[in-house]
Amino acid sequence: MTLPAHAHLQRLLAFLKKYWRALLTLFFSLLLPLLGFVKIAEEVYEKEPFAFEEPLMLAVHAGASTALNNVTRFLSLFGNMAGMVPLTGLLSVMLYRIRPRLAYFLLLALGGTVAINTVLKQFFDRPRPAFWTPFLPEPDFSFPSGHAMFASALVSAVVVILWSTRWRLPALVCGALYVLAMMWSWVYIGVHYPTDVTAGALVSVAWVVGLNYVLHVHRILRPAPAASAERPGEERGRQETSSAQ
């Protein structure tokens, strides 16, 4: 028997009322970053220039100084393999002592990011910017930025792990600042276009969040609901015993 249209509408409204928070989280954490990456990647694949990139990069480079050069050198340590491998290993050991599944998730999230970055660079083969000679040159292709991808994947994984704890907001804020600093640094150096770092950060968020939805990692540290001190049946039985006395 086919349900009338208003019955389907009621079911849909009931579903949205129950799951609207989860749906919004899914949209902003997975679908929106993925769509943003696809939009940028489409333009890069078609070799379409982004008019804003050269003026923006030159404006960023205009503020170059020895102090900023040293800052970007320091940040670069946390975006290449030499820095990310020890950091990932240390975090994985710490997480393994808490929940082995969290360590496996972190390794899979960052290992998958390396694989995705390698494939995408070879597929798009975008040349590096050539507006000035960078003091930290990079030999491979430009799109997407590996440093931005690794930083974004690390932050996304940490936020997912801490999502059910009180540390969720501090991890989100500090992580976002770290990713933005990493994105800025490679545009400042001159080895990445702004769209390289933006696309890299977005695709890593989509990858890690998608992995979380498959593995349900965000539920691992969720606090268990407080157990009732006594069952309702036991309470009623005690009340009846007291009344009889």
Tens digits of residue pLDDT in 103-117:
999 999 999 999 999
**pLDDT of res. 171:** 93
Q: How is 184-228 classified by DSSP, letter by letter?
A: HHHHHHTSS-HHHHHHHHHHHHHHHHHHHHHHTGGGTTPPPPPPP
**pLDDT of res. 20:** 65
Provide CB contacts within 8 A for 217, sequence distance 6+.
101, 102, 105, 160, 161, 211
**pLDDT of res. 53:** 94
pTM of the model: 0.83
Closest among 204, 223, 213, 226 to 34, alpha carbons compared: 204
- Per-residue DSSP letter, 136: S
**pLDDT of res. 228:** 43
Contact 105, 215 (CB under 8 A): yes
Residue pLDDT, tens place only, 209-226 = 999 988 888 677 666 555
Task: Give the amino acid at 103.
Answer: A
Low-confidence ranges of the chain (pLDDT < 70): 1-9, 12, 15-20, 22, 79, 81, 218, 221-245
Give strand ranges (E) for the chain. Answer: none
CA distance 89 to 232: 49
**pLDDT of res. 32:** 92
